Structure 1
Amino acid sequence: MSNLLSGSASPYLLQHADNPVHWREWGEDAFAEARRRDVPVLLSIGYAACHWCHVMAHESFEDEGVASVMNEGFVCVKVDREERPDVDAIYMAATTAMSGRGGWPMTCFLTPDGEPFYCGTYYPRPQFLQVLAAVREAWEDRREAVLRSSAAVTEALQRMTSVLPGSPVGEDALAEAVRTLGSEFDPRNAGFGGAPKFPPAMVLEFLLRHHARTGDADALRMAERTCEAMARGGLYDQLAGGFARYSVDEAWVVPHFEKMLYDNAQLLRVYLHLFRLTGAPLVERVARETAEFLLRELRTPQGGFASALDADADGVEGLTYVWTPAQLADVLGADDGARAAEVLGVTTEGTFEHGASTLQRRSDPDERWWADIRTRLLDARRGRPQPARDDKVVTAWNGLTIAALAEGGALLGEARWIDAARECAELLRDVHIVEGRLRRVSRDGAAGAAAAVAADHGDLAEGLLALHQATGDRGWLESAGELLDTALERFGDGAGGFYDVADDAERLVARPRDPMDNVEPSGPSALAGALLTYAALTGSPRHHEAARAAVASAGALARQAPRFVGWTLAVAEAIQAGPLQVAVVGEGTPADHLAREARASASPGLVLAVGAPDAPGIPLLAERPLVDGQPAAYVCRGFVCDRPVTDVAELRRALA
Structure 2
Amino acid sequence: MPNRLRDSRSPYLLQHADNPVDWWEWGPEALQEAAERDLPILLSVGYAACHWCHVMAHQSFEDATVAAAINDSFIAIKVDREEHPDIDAAYMTATTAMTGNGGWPMTCLLTPDGKPFFAGTYLPKAQFLQLLSAASHAWANQRDQVLASGEHIATQLAAATDRGTSVPITDEQARASVATLQQSYDDTYGGFGGAPKFPPTMVLEFLLRHHARTGDESCLRMAEHTCAAMARGGIYDQLAGGFARYSVDATWTVPHFEKMLYDNAQLLRVYAHLWRANLDPLAARIATETAEFIIRDLGTPEGGFASALDADTDGVEGATYVWTPGELRAALGEDDGNRAAELLDVTAAGTFEHGRSTLQLPQDPEDGAWWETTRTDLLAARAERAQPARDGKVVTSWNGLAISALAEASMILRVPEWLDAAVRSAEFILDRHLVDGRLRRSSLDGSVGAAPGVADDYGNFAEALLTLHQATGEHRYLTLAQDLLATATEIFSEPSGGFHDAAADGEQLFFTPRGAGDNAEPCGTSSLAGALLVLSALTGDPAPRERSEQAVAAMGQIATEAPRFAGWALAVAEAQLAGPVQVAVVGDGRAARGLVRSAWEAPSAGAVVVAGPPDSAQSPLLADRPLVDERPAAYVCHGFVCAAPVTDRDELLQQLRGPAAQ
TM range (shorter): over 0.9
- Separation in structure 1 between the aligned mates of residue 183 and residue 495 of structure 2, nearest angstrom: 36
Partner of 1:512: 513
Q: CA offset at residue 34 of structure 1?
A: 1.1
Q: Which residue of 2 aligns with 1:37?
A: 37
Distance 1:122 1:44 in 2: 10
How high is the TM-score relative to the length of structure 1?
0.99
Which residue in the other structure is 2:246 paired with?
A: 246
Q: Does structure 2 retain, via aligned residues, the 8 Å contact 1:5–1:17?
A: yes
Residue 475 of structure 1 is matched in structure 2 by: 476
Confirm or deny that 1:411 pairs with 2:403. Answer: no
C-alpha displacement at 1:639, in angstroms? Answer: 3.5
Going from structure 1 to structure 2, the CA distance change for 1:3 and 1:160 (only over 3 Å counts) comes to farther
**Greater CA drift, 179-188 or 236-245:** 179-188
1:107 alignment counterpart: 107
Alignment of 1:288 with 2:288, yes or no, is: yes
- Matching residue's letter, 2:368: E
Q: Which residue of 2 aligns with 1:95?
A: 95
Measure the CA separation in 2 of the matches of 1:148 and 1:160. Answer: 18
Distance of 1:312 and 1:99 partners within structure 2: 27
> Amino acid of the residue matched to residue 123 of structure 2?
Y
Q: 1:307-326, aligned counterparts within 5 Å?
A: 307-326=307-326
Question: Distance in 1 between the 2:382 and 2:166 partners?
Answer: 52
Q: Match of 2:221?
A: 221
Aligned to 2:26: 26
Distance 2:632 2:217 in 1: 36
Paired residues, number? 656
Instruction: State whether residues 576 and 605 of structure 1, in contact with CA within 8 Å, keep that contact through their aligned partners in structure 2.
Output: no
Name the residue aligned to 2:584: 583
Q: CA deviation at 1:478?
A: 1.1
Do structure 1's residue 70 and structure 2's residue 80 form an aligned pair?
Answer: no
Task: Give the alignment of 1:332-351 within 5 angstroms.
Answer: 332-351=332-351
Instruction: For 1:206, give the aligned amino acid.
Output: F
Structure-2 change in CA distance of 1:605 and 1:372 (3 Å): closer
Aligned 8 A contact 2:578 2:639 in 1: no
Contact 1:515 1:523 in 2 (8 A): no
Alpha-carbon contact 1:272-1:283 (below 8 Å) kept = yes
Q: Which residue of 1 aligns with 2:637?
A: 636
Match of 2:650 in 1: 649
What is the 5 A alignment of 1:444-459? Answer: 444-459=445-460
Unaligned runs of 5+ in 1: none
Q: Decide whether the 8 Å contact of 2:164 with 2:557 is kept in 1.
A: no
- Structure 1: which amino acid aligns with 2:503? A
Structure 1 residue 163 displacement after superposition: 5.6
Residue 261 of structure 1 is matched in structure 2 by 261
CA distance in structure 2 between the partners assigned to 1:599 and 1:427 by the alignment = 26
Shift of 1:467: 1.1
Deviations 1:364-402 (A, max 9, x none): 112100000000000000000000000111000000000
Partner-residue secondary structure (3-state), 1:24: strand
Residue deviations 1:413-433 (CA, integer Å, cap 9, x gap): 100000000111101111111
Name 2:130's counterpart in structure 1: 130
Provide the rounded CA distance (Å) in 2 between the counterparts of 1:300 and 1:426.
Answer: 13
Q: Which residue identity is paired with 2:351?
A: T
Counterparts of 2:185 and 2:561 in 1: how far apart (Å)?
A: 16
Query: Shift in Å at residue 447 of structure 1?
Result: 1.2
CA distance in 1, matches of 2:15, 2:627: 59
Q: 8 Å contact 2:232–2:362 — kept in the other structure?
A: yes
**Distance in 1 between the 2:653 and 2:220 partners?**
22
- For the Cα contact (< 8 Å) 2:578–2:638, is it kept in 1? no
Give, in whole Å, the separation in 1 of the partners of 2:291 and 2:264: 8
Match of 1:385 in 2: 386
Once the 2 structures are TM-superposed, how far is the Cα of residue 627 of structure 1 from its aligned partner?
Answer: 1.6
Q: CA–CA distance in 1 between the matches of 2:135 and 2:618?
A: 61
- Post-superposition offset of 1:637: 2.3
Structure 1 distance, partners of 2:205, 2:656, is 20
Q: Which runs of 5+ in 2 are unaligned?
A: 658-662
- The amino acid across from 1:139 in the alignment is W
Partner of 2:461: 460
**SS in structure 2 at match of 1:109:** strand
Aligned residue identity for 1:473: E
The SS at the match of 1:532 is helix
Question: SS of the counterpart of 1:634?
Answer: strand
Q: 2:127 aligned with 1:139, yes or no?
A: no
User: Shift in Å at residue 617 of structure 1?
Assistant: 4.5
Structure 2 counterparts to residues 266-285 of structure 1, below 5 A: 266-285=266-285
1:192 corresponds in structure 2 to 192
Q: How many Å separate the matches in 2 of 1:644 and 1:218? A: 33
3-state SS, counterpart of residue 568 of structure 2? helix
**Alignment partner of 2:150: what SS?**
helix
The TM-score normalised by the length of structure 2 is 0.98
User: Which deviates the most, 547-556 or 28-37?
Assistant: 28-37
Separation of aligned partners in 2, 1:303 and 1:605 = 28
The superposition leaves residues 170-199 of structure 1 with CA deviations (integer Å, 9 ceiling, x where unpaired) of: 111111111111110112111111111000
SS of equivalent to 1:594: helix
SS of corresponding position for 1:107: strand
**Partner in structure 2 of residue 201 of structure 1:** 201
2:21–2:71 CA contact under 8 A, matched in 1: yes
Shift of 1:515: 2.5
* CA deviation after TM superposition for structure 1 residue 540, in Å: 1.0
- Tell me how far apart the structure 2 counterparts of residues 516 and 163 of structure 1 sit (CA, whole Å): 10
DSSP 3-state at the match of 1:509: coil
- Corresponding residue for residue 369 of structure 2: 368
AA partner of residue 19 (structure 1): N
- Helix, strand or coil: the match of 2:107? strand
Aligned equivalents of 1:3, 1:118: Cα separation in 2: 27
Give, in whole Å, the separation in 2 of the partners of 1:212 and 1:541. 24
Q: Secondary structure at the match of 1:44?
A: strand
What amino acid is aligned across from residue 481 of structure 2 in structure 1? A
SS state at 1:102 partner: coil
Given residue 101 of structure 1, which amino acid in structure 2 is its aligned partner?
A: N
1:558–1:163 CA distance, 2 compared to 1 (3 A): closer
Q: CA separation in 1, counterparts of 2:224 and 2:486?
A: 37
- The 2-side partners of 1:249 and 1:618 are apart by 48
Could you list the per-position Cα deviations for residues 588-623 of structure 1 after superposition, in whole angstroms to 9, with x for gaps in the alignment?
211110000111221214111100112215110010
- CA shift in 2, pair 1:638/1:178, >3 Å: closer
1:487 alignment partner in structure 2:
488
What does residue 305 of structure 1 align with?
305
- 2:660 paired residue number: none
Q: Which moved more, 1:39-48 or 1:499-508?
A: 499-508
- Structural RMSD (CA): 1.0
